[in-house]
């Protein structure tokens, strides 16, 4: 029995030594990973641990596995954004970052503490997300401040966008029209209507704007140019609305046969219907603003990268 009893302390010591060695190896491994610098941006390092953590963040938020290069590029961009912010704005209050973090947690249906526990269970540090929030926050302030004038979306910008797409404005359009009638005597044969239709098409080809075009129409034989009328798109049938939407301002609609002859409409103006700003219109304004923001942000970041000192290890 004595040898067995005597051997027990030696066995315990051996196990303790093995555990200590393993723990030391783990610490060394982690320290090595932290020390493994993969890039230096303006004197600030990006490590392998940074890449691992950001990869987990992207996977968690998008459910997609990003490439290592994409992750590294994102980290480089964030470094550049924060470094630039030190030239333009004061230190960002910690409460701003914590508020944004809490908002993300709330959208996920959790408290900040629960959200932190959840992301840590996925092997990610809360600081990784907060670093991303910080970079996005300062970058948004910089871009909005630097390109404030270019980002503004006016009512005219919205009208141009709508007219280019040939769609109704949210809330509808108001059209200012001049009816032009090519008279055909009552009881005339179909050939008479076809002849007048050709006359109308000939005028359409020459019609460049309402001022000159209507003056030409008034000189044509058996043609009546009627008084201006205003029509709201909400008050006309879909087929006629599509025709008016497809006709550029200052031009004529395709000819239409009526009991009195062949009629065309000069579209002299087209504007959003008067009234309060609708939710749909605000949505279009926000979409246009975001399009401009993304384009300017991408261009500015590209310029920033071209001037930055980035060293890959």
Whole-number Å distance between alpha carbons of 50 and 33: 10
Whether the CB-CB separation of 151 and 142 falls below 8 Å is answered with no
Q: Based on the domain organization, do 187 and 104 belong to the same domain?
A: no
Token duo for residue 135: 């970079």
Strand-strand pairing, 37-41 and 251-252: unpaired
Residue 78's nearest CA partner among 139, 146, 140, 34 is 139
According to the model, what pLDDT value does residue 282 have?
A: 72
Count the helix, strand and coil residues of the chain and give each as a percent rounded to the nearest 5: 65, 15, 20
Report the CATH number at residue 129: 1.10.4030.10
- Looking at the domain assignment, is residue 265 inside a domain? yes
More confident residue, 234 or 293: 293
- Looking at the domain assignment, is residue 2 inside a domain? no
Q: Based on the domain organization, do 120 and 177 belong to the same domain?
A: no
**What is the H or E stretch that residue 169 is in?**
none
- Average the pLDDT over 181-207 and give the result: 94
- Average the pLDDT over 273-282 and give the result: 59
**What is the H or E stretch that residue 193 is in?**
helix 190-206
Q: Based on the domain organization, do 37 and 77 belong to the same domain?
A: yes
State the chain's mean pLDDT as an integer.
84
- Looking at the domain assignment, is residue 224 inside a domain? yes
Q: Based on the domain organization, do 108 and 204 belong to the same domain?
A: no
Q: Based on the domain organization, do 44 and 131 belong to the same domain?
A: yes
Whole-number Å distance between alpha carbons of 155 and 149: 15
Structural domain including 20 reads 16-146
- Looking at the domain assignment, is residue 100 inside a domain? yes
Q: Based on the domain organization, do 138 and 193 belong to the same domain?
A: no
- Looking at the domain assignment, is residue 192 inside a domain? yes
- Looking at the domain assignment, is residue 295 inside a domain? no
Q: Based on the domain organization, do 131 and 23 belong to the same domain?
A: yes
Report the CATH number at residue 248: 3.10.50.40
Q: Based on the domain organization, do 140 and 178 belong to the same domain?
A: no
Q: Based on the domain organization, do 130 and 193 belong to the same domain?
A: no
Q: Based on the domain organization, do 101 and 190 belong to the same domain?
A: no
Whole-number Å distance between alpha carbons of 263 and 184: 10
- Average the pLDDT over 166-188 and give the result: 82
User: What are 226-263's pLDDT values in tens digits?
Assistant: 999 998 877 788 888 889 988 999 999 999 999 899 99
- Looking at the domain assignment, is residue 246 inside a domain? yes
Whole-number Å distance between alpha carbons of 162 and 147: 24
Whether the CB-CB separation of 206 and 199 falls below 8 Å is answered with no
- Looking at the domain assignment, is residue 283 inside a domain? no
Q: Helix or strand or coil: residue 286?
A: helix
The lowest-confidence range among 32-36, 49-53, 87-91, 138-142 is 32-36
According to the model, what pLDDT value does residue 208 have?
A: 93
End-of-domain residue from the set 96, 127, 146: 146
Q: Based on the domain organization, do 113 and 186 belong to the same domain?
A: no
The lowest-confidence range among 73-77, 163-167, 265-269, 286-290 is 163-167
Predicted confidence band of residue 203 (pLDDT cuts 50, 70, 90):
very high
pTM for the structure as a whole: 0.56
The lowest-confidence range among 163-167, 196-200, 291-295 is 163-167
DSSP 56-107: HHHHHHHSS---HHHHHHHHHHHHHHHHHHHHHSPPPPHHHHHHHHHHHHHH
Give the total number of structural domains in the chain. Answer: 2
According to the model, what pLDDT value does residue 280 have?
A: 61
Residue 47 has pLDDT above 70, yes or no: yes
Q: Based on the domain organization, do 56 and 115 belong to the same domain?
A: yes
């Amino acid at each position: 029995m004595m040898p067995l009893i005597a051997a027990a302390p030696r066995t315990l010591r051996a196990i303790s030594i093995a555990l200590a060695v393993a723990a030391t190896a783990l610490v060394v491994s982690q320290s090595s990973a932290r020390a493994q610098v993969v890039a230096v941006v303006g004197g600030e390092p990006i490590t392998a641990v940074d890449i691992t953590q950001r990869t987990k963040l992207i996977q968690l938020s998008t459910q997609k596995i990003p490439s290592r290069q994409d992750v590294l590029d994102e980290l480089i961009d964030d470094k550049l954004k924060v470094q630039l912010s030190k030239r333009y704005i004061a230190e960002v209050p910690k409460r701003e970052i914590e508020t944004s973090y809490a908002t993300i947690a709330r959208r996920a249906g959790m408290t900040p503490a629960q959200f932190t526990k959840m992301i840590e269970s996925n092997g990610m540090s809360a600081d990784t997300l907060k670093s991303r929030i910080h970079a996005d926050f300062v970058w948004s302030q910089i871009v909005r401040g630097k390109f404030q004038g270019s980002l503004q979306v006016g009512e005219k910008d919205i009208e141009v966008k709508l007219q280019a797409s040939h769609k109704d404005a949210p809330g509808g359009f108001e059209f200012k029209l001049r009816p032009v009638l090519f008279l055909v005597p009552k009881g005339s044969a179909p050939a008479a209507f076809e002849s007048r239709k050709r006359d109308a098409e000939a005028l359409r080809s020459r019609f460049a704007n309402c001022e000159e075009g209507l003056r030409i129409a008034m000189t044509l034989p058996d043609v009546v140019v009627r008084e201006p009328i205003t029509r709201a798109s909400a008050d006309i049938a879909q087929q006629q609305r599509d025709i008016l939407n497809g006709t550029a301002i200052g031009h004529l609609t395709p000819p239409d046969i009526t009991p009195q002859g062949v009629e065309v409409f000069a579209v002299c103006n087209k504007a959003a219907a008067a009234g309060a700003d609708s939710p749909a219109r605000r949505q279009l304004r926000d979409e246009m603003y975001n399009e401009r923001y993304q384009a300017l942000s991408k261009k500015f970041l590209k310029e920033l990268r071209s001037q930055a000192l980035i060293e890959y290890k």
